[in-house]
Structure 1
Amino acid sequence: MQPLHLSIVVCCLLALGHACQDSASVPTTAKDWWETAQFYQIYPRSFMDSDGDGIGDLNGITSKLEYLKELGVTAAWLSPIFKSPMVDFGYDISDFFDIQPEYGTLEDFRNLIRRANELDLKIILDFVPNHSSNENEWFKKSVRREKGYADYYVWHDGKVNAATGEREPPTNWLQYFRGSAWEWNEQRQQYYLHQFAVQQPDLNYRNPDVVAQMKRVLRYWLNEGVAGFRCDALPPLFEVLPDGQGQYPDEVVSGATEDAEDRDYLTTTYIENQPETVDMVYQWREVLDDHRRIHGGNSSVLLIETYSPAWFTMQFYGNRTVNGAHLPFNFNLITVMEKSGLSAANVQQAIDLWLQNMPAGRTANWVLGNHDKRRAASRYGLEHIDGMNMLVMILPGASVTYQGEELGMTDGQISWEDTVDPWGCNSNADIYEQYTRDPERTPFQWTSGSNAGFSMGPTTWLPLADDYQTVNVETESAANHSHLTIYKSLIALRRSSKTLQNGSTKYAVLNDDVFVLKRSLSGAASIVYVCNFGSAAVTVDLTEFDKSLGKDTLRLLVRSLDSAKSEG
């Protein structure tokens, strides 16, 4: 076999053997729908505006479900659509059982479910269990110490400074959005815990009534026809128990930053990753399984957000006696690169961290981005977005796409004056760019026309990204070769290939820049992924990775946008 020459930052998929379609006679292992699913995250506020107010909504999503069908995705996960003051844009929920009016009505949601069912698309909702809005009736009742609600949230008297005689917060704990995690409530005369914004008080999961209430939330939306939940912000669900005097311990200085307002200034030993959190996930899984047992139908899926170390994250899968989350989110392709940069070696490290720690018999998943992280094309470089999309589609298990990754959308430029994200707003004009999540939340780019086809109104809730006139669905759909056409080809290949659904996995770093991965299944065509993460042309001999690659024909199936190679 001739050595394979890769042009600058090229990535490609190849089929080994004369057949590019899997043989119908190849035996397959039956898998549930979610095990090889392509999940697509929609940030409702930024996906499609149907009424011209500059804010995306449910009817807008419904109008674009055929786009998702054309992409080939399995399920759409919607960031929160529940009633909210929108301090944290839906993650501060004032009513877990109703729809945010600017997004639509419950009937609009039911229409969305009906249309999704017609198209054989599944809808996943964001479940936000850690906290509510301070405008939620539960919190108002808790402030008034009403019967049944007095301990719905985490309250504390605080402590008195011996030197000054002044009352102070119970601990030095810090919130995610900068500053103290405790807020004094004058009416109740106590502090409450809020690990996010001041307007997002933490629910008290040591209260059985809270546990039961949140299970009711799950059942309510299951009855409305959703196919499962993505569970938000699991690490801080529980904090340690207070000592015999009712006091919590202070965290110690971590040394990670000198900014004393930043959450990373302290460790999070006492406020994250407690064992009770794992058990709560097991209880939620039981709710989903019971619903299916009673009502029938397909499995409902539970996806868990946790930026926790592997020893903790893997517990969410369950054990020999109990099932946990179907898919604890795998953020390694984000976190490893954030720390060390994009390289072939770091890609291998990210994959190893999951596959070498995942319990036997469980399903992997691969994530490139979300509404809390800079867009993948901005983090990895636009020249690498095809290669990274290929990677998550070729690896075993499920994949998760954040809206716009299929187009190569990049971050918008958001000024301090236009900043609305509480994380950014809680800082200042000099440092807000370190914290704001607005750049990755700019409106979706449908066309090169007015407001990128997102809204017919005069303005949009966030400014558009600068590249919308060239990076959009309309333009890329019309092109013979674009990020979008590549993405569609990847999903089509994945859905049709028994090798990608059931095959074994082998991968390696060939040199400083080149990463190669092979999926193989007896009796079917093997699929080989080759990517150059460097900035210079390189020639590699794939037989150094796998000698069988020199014994048969390699046919190019999918190539990156920058590749000059011919398919076929």
Structure 2
Amino acid sequence: MTSLTAKPWWKDAVCYQIYPASFKDSDGDGLGDIPGILSKIDYLKDLGIDVVWVDMGYDISDYEKVYPPYGTVKDMEDLIEACHKRGMKLILDLVINHTSDQHAWFKESRSSKDNPKRDWYIWKPPRFAEDGTRLPPTNWRSYFSGQTWEYDEHTGEYYLHLFAKEQPDLNWENEEARKAIYDSAMRFWLEKGVDGFRVDVVNMYSKGVELKDAPIVDARFYEQPAWMYYANGPRMHEFLREMNQTVLDKYDTVTVGELPHTPDPKKVLDYVSARDKQLSMVFQFDIVDLGQGREHKYHFEEWKLPQFKTIVAKWQQFIEGTDGWTTVFCENHDQGRSVSRYASDAPSDRAPSAKLLALMLCALTGTLFLYQGQEIGMINLPASWPISSYRDIESVNFYHAMAAQSGNDPAELAYVMRSLQILGRDNARLPMQWSGAAHAGFTDAPRGPWMRVHDLYGEINVARQVAEGEGSVLGFWRRMIRFRKQHAEVLVHGAFQAFEMEDERTFVFGKRGEGSGEGGGTEVKRVAVALNFTGEEQDVELPPYEGLEFAVGSYDDAGEAEKGVVGRVRRLRPWEGRLYLAGRE
């Protein structure tokens, strides 16, 4: 962690998340790999990326090795070196809520009740119904559907797994287990030059010692959501402080925590206060949870633009007057694509929508995160794809659970498929679209990639947009990243102000930031951003800031459209965004 007086390098950084399986295949086996990432490292540098985040998966059988299909530890060392040579940092996922059931620690834990590592995982005896039926210790629902407990015949007890049954949860109450995690999962990679971690489900390590049944919110199922019992537990902050004191404080690292089930800004600030030294920043998920069902994630619910604007404003403003920091993102490996979710992926709207979102994100305060393919405007998989084309365990399990519960009701399953097409994780995991060649240039494997390539890869790909130049979505992202860095004092660090929050068609916000002026004094800059979130022309009124001048727009001819316009009212074209700058006050 960085000292309070220094300016942390990670605040001004633009970060790029890579899902290795789907980024680039180098050896023709149909699966992306680390050498594939290496082959595209200059592409990332040219985009303006400062930090490469490699998501190495969640089924950890050995923290000190690399998943063999992805490569070797030497490959990872080469990637670290390549990033550092280009002035970029590299961070990895830190998955320490659970391990694989193939990890040596769990094999020992499972071997007997008196094994020294038995308490490194969470084991509980069964309960029994009045008729003698064996029941799991609680009624908690797994994130991947079904129960969170798996019965082990060998020892006659259940182990806890909040996620897949192959991913048993570690017991953070055990000090020896924590020390082993710090050594094997963290210090090992930091010594190799890794610059920090994105910390998986960072608020789920402390589950307390009382495991209670969750309240029943859907009587059709035995298993119920139970995050209120295992998220933000009683020792969570203690564990994070210990993690810093034991390991992270010895290195100049960044930590980005995945923080689900934490909607209260005050509780989020508890995690990101610089003085408390727990996490550098977190991903708060209100923005990507928009549209998810209340009882079941994949029961899509319609939403309106004011809800979106309220979420943006909330997480822009919550750090004001504090020593905390925030993140800017709207895509990752677990979400549908932003163009499809928040704008329009209709053929004529795709590029304008992607540019609109790029302009908005580059104008928001915090550390900016892009997800692979976002920079070319990749969209959700086609609605015509059947469930057999899906690969994500969470989506497939939910579909089959609802099929069983509804007796294969066509209306229910159509609703589920529509929800998955909007929200499902597979949308983000389709192979990266590098070119119009076979398999989108992702692989030359004769049998194709591990997962089906998007039908529209010939229209949406890197090579085509490179040829199109500045007018492409990729070209616009490059331009906006440069612009963001040039005006970091107001775009990265500025205070946020929203206007006309109830308007369901447009989003107008302002920023105020202080920086060094030409004469060495302090200069205050103002920014106004106007966004049209509809497919029709809309009038917007700019904020009452003095001296606003047009700076950049998502339409190539926006500057021409601004000529001769007086007053504060502007007419925006479908899915258009414009940004205005004002100098010193």
**Pairwise TM-score range, normalised by the shorter structure:** 0.7 to 0.9
| C-alpha distance in 1 between matches for 2:302 and 2:50 | 31
| C-alpha distance in 2 between matches for 1:258 and 1:374 | 29
Corresponding residue SS for 2:193? coil
Identity of aligned residues (%): 30
Tell me, yes or no, if the aligned pair for 1:282 and 1:316 is still in contact at 8 Å: no
Equivalent runs, 1:424-443 vs 2, <5 Å: 424-428=395-399, 430=403, 431=413, 433=417, 434=419, 436-443=424-431
| C-alpha distance in 1 between matches for 2:269 and 2:482 | 30
Write the deviation string for residues 279-327 of structure 1: whole angstroms up to 9, x where unpaired.
22222233454322xxxxxx2100000122224333211475x211101
Q: Residues 565 and 288 from structure 1, CA distance in 2 versus in 1: closer, same or farther, beyond 3 angstroms?
A: farther
Tell me, yes or no, if the aligned pair for 2:316 and 2:365 is still in contact at 8 Å: no
Matched with 2:475 is 485
Moved more, 368-377 or 524-533: 524-533
Deviation at 1:259, TM superposition (A): 5.1
Moved more, 484-493 or 376-385: 376-385
Matched with 2:361 is 392
Query: Is 1:305 matched with 2:272?
Result: no
Matched with 2:330 is 368
Q: TM-score, normalised by structure 1?
A: 0.84
Corresponding residue SS for 2:162? coil
Matched with 1:14 is none
Deviation at 1:474, TM superposition (A): 0.8
From 208, 216, 220, the counterpart of 1:253 = 216
Query: Is 1:323 matched with 2:283?
Result: no
Corresponding residue SS for 1:328? strand
Write the deviation string for residues 48-77 of structure 1: whole angstroms up to 9, x where unpaired.
000011100000001101011011011111
Tell me, yes or no, if the aligned pair for 1:302 and 1:327 is still in contact at 8 Å: yes
Matched with 1:518 is 510
Moved more, 204-213 or 350-359: 350-359
| C-alpha distance in 2 between matches for 1:30 and 1:515 | 35
Corresponding residue SS for 1:417? helix
| C-alpha distance in 2 between matches for 1:225 and 1:376 | 33
The structure with higher relative contact order (CA 8 Å, sep 6+) is: 1
From 171, 187, 192, the counterpart of 1:219 = 187
| C-alpha distance in 1 between matches for 2:557 and 2:206 | 47
From 80, 92, 101, the counterpart of 1:134 = 101
Equivalent runs, 1:519-534 vs 2, <5 Å: 519-520=511-512, 521=514, 523=523, 526-534=526-534
| C-alpha distance in 1 between matches for 2:14 and 2:562 | 24
Matched with 2:544 is 546
Deviation at 1:419, TM superposition (A): 2.8
From 542, 547, 559, the counterpart of 2:554 = 559
Matched with 1:508 is 499
Query: Is 1:420 matched with 2:391?
Result: yes
Matched with 1:475 is 464
Query: Is 1:281 matched with 2:249?
Result: no
Equivalent runs, 1:194-205 vs 2, <5 Å: 194-205=161-172
Deviation at 1:553, TM superposition (A): 5.7
Matched with 1:494 is 484
| C-alpha distance in 2 between matches for 1:562 and 1:371 | 34
| C-alpha distance in 1 between matches for 2:311 and 2:259 | 16
Deviation at 1:567, TM superposition (A): 8.3
Deviation at 1:504, TM superposition (A): 3.7
Write the deviation string for residues 59-100 of structure 1: whole angstroms up to 9, x where unpaired.
0001101011011011111111xxxxxxxxx31111111011
Tell me, yes or no, if the aligned pair for 1:317 and 1:328 is still in contact at 8 Å: yes
Q: Residues 397 and 276 from structure 1, CA distance in 2 versus in 1: closer, same or farther, beyond 3 angstroms?
A: same
Deviation at 1:415, TM superposition (A): 3.1
Corresponding residue SS for 1:353? helix
Tell me, yes or no, if the aligned pair for 2:436 and 2:457 is still in contact at 8 Å: yes
Q: Residues 360 and 107 from structure 1, CA distance in 2 versus in 1: closer, same or farther, beyond 3 angstroms?
A: same
Moved more, 341-350 or 380-389: 341-350
Write the deviation string for residues 369-419 of structure 1: whole angstroms up to 9, x where unpaired.
111111111211244332222222111121111111111101224532233
Equivalent runs, 1:233-252 vs 2, <5 Å: 233-242=201-210, 248-252=211-215
Deviation at 1:441, TM superposition (A): 0.3
Deviation at 1:481, TM superposition (A): 0.8
Q: Residues 329 and 285 from structure 1, CA distance in 2 versus in 1: closer, same or farther, beyond 3 angstroms?
A: farther
From 146, 160, 164, the counterpart of 1:179 = 146
Tell me, yes or no, if the aligned pair for 1:116 and 1:122 is still in contact at 8 Å: yes
Equivalent residue letter for 2:528: V
Write the deviation string for residues 435-475 of structure 1: whole angstroms up to 9, x where unpaired.
65223200001111111111111210000011111111111
Q: Residues 338 and 194 from structure 1, CA distance in 2 versus in 1: closer, same or farther, beyond 3 angstroms?
A: closer
Moved more, 340-349 or 416-425: 340-349
| C-alpha distance in 2 between matches for 1:494 and 1:538 | 26
From 104, 109, 128, the counterpart of 1:160 = 128
Equivalent residue letter for 2:372: Q
| C-alpha distance in 1 between matches for 2:545 and 2:40 | 46
Matched with 1:8 is none
Equivalent residue letter for 1:456: D
Tell me, yes or no, if the aligned pair for 2:552 and 2:558 is still in contact at 8 Å: no
Deviation at 1:492, TM superposition (A): 0.3
Tell me, yes or no, if the aligned pair for 2:530 and 2:540 is still in contact at 8 Å: no
Write the deviation string for residues 94-126 of structure 1: whole angstroms up to 9, x where unpaired.
111101110011111111111111111111100
Query: Is 1:354 matched with 2:315?
Result: yes
User: Aligned residue pairs: how many?
Assistant: 509
| C-alpha distance in 1 between matches for 2:329 and 2:32 | 24
Matched with 1:50 is 26
Q: Residues 137 and 547 from structure 1, CA distance in 2 versus in 1: closer, same or farther, beyond 3 angstroms?
A: closer
Deviation at 1:344, TM superposition (A): 4.8
Q: Residues 342 and 529 from structure 1, CA distance in 2 versus in 1: closer, same or farther, beyond 3 angstroms?
A: farther
Tell me, yes or no, if the aligned pair for 1:49 and 1:454 is still in contact at 8 Å: yes
Q: Residues 323 and 529 from structure 1, CA distance in 2 versus in 1: closer, same or farther, beyond 3 angstroms?
A: same
| C-alpha distance in 2 between matches for 1:323 and 1:553 | 39
Q: TM-score, normalised by structure 2?
A: 0.81
| C-alpha distance in 2 between matches for 1:165 and 1:390 | 61
Tell me, yes or no, if the aligned pair for 1:477 and 1:485 is still in contact at 8 Å: yes
Corresponding residue SS for 1:197? coil
Equivalent residue letter for 1:153: Y
Any stretches of 5+ residues in structure 1 without a counterpart?
A: 1-28, 81-89, 243-247, 293-298
Deviation at 1:422, TM superposition (A): 1.6
